[in-house]
């Protein structure tokens, strides 16, 4: 699993996610965005580039843990 921020130095998290999805070696890795960009546009863009989930900051540890567990369960059902 990779937890990415949208805003990063050198490359956006969206681009990192796109690149992960293009490689056969990394295309099945779970990707969750964790970002201060809580706008609907950011969430939609994250999901459009292939993220499995998008959590907006501020967030609680309990919410992030729940999203991680949910996505791991989904992944285990489809693998």
Contact 1, 30 (CB under 8 A): yes
- What's the confidence (pLDDT) of residue 39? 85
- What's the confidence (pLDDT) of residue 78? 79
Task: Return the domain boundaries, the chain.
Answer: 2-78
Assign 3-state DSSP to the chain and report helix, strand, coil percentages, each to 5. 45, 15, 40
Angle, vertex CA 21, rays to CA 19 and CA 23, nearest 5: 75
Question: Is 19 a residue whose pLDDT tops 80?
Answer: yes
Residue 65 confidence class, pLDDT cut points 50, 70, 90: very high
- Give 27-54 pLDDT, tens digit per residue: 999 999 999 888 889 899 999 999 999 9
The predicted model scores a pTM of 0.89
- Measured in degrees and rounded to the nearest 5, phi and psi for residue 50 equal 115, 5
CATH code of 2-78, in short, is 3.40.50.2300
Both tokens of 61, joined, read 């540890």
């Amino acid at each position: 699993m990779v937890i990415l921020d949208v805003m990063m130095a050198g490359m956006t998290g969206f681009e990192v996610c796109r690149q992960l999805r293009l490689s056969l070696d990394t295309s099945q890795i779970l990707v969750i965005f964790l970002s201060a960009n809580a706008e609907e546009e950011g969430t939609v863009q994250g999901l459009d580039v292939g993220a499995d989930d998008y959590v907006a900051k501020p967030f609680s540890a309990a919410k992030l843990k729940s999203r991680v567990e949910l996505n791991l369960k989904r992944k285990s059902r489809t693998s």
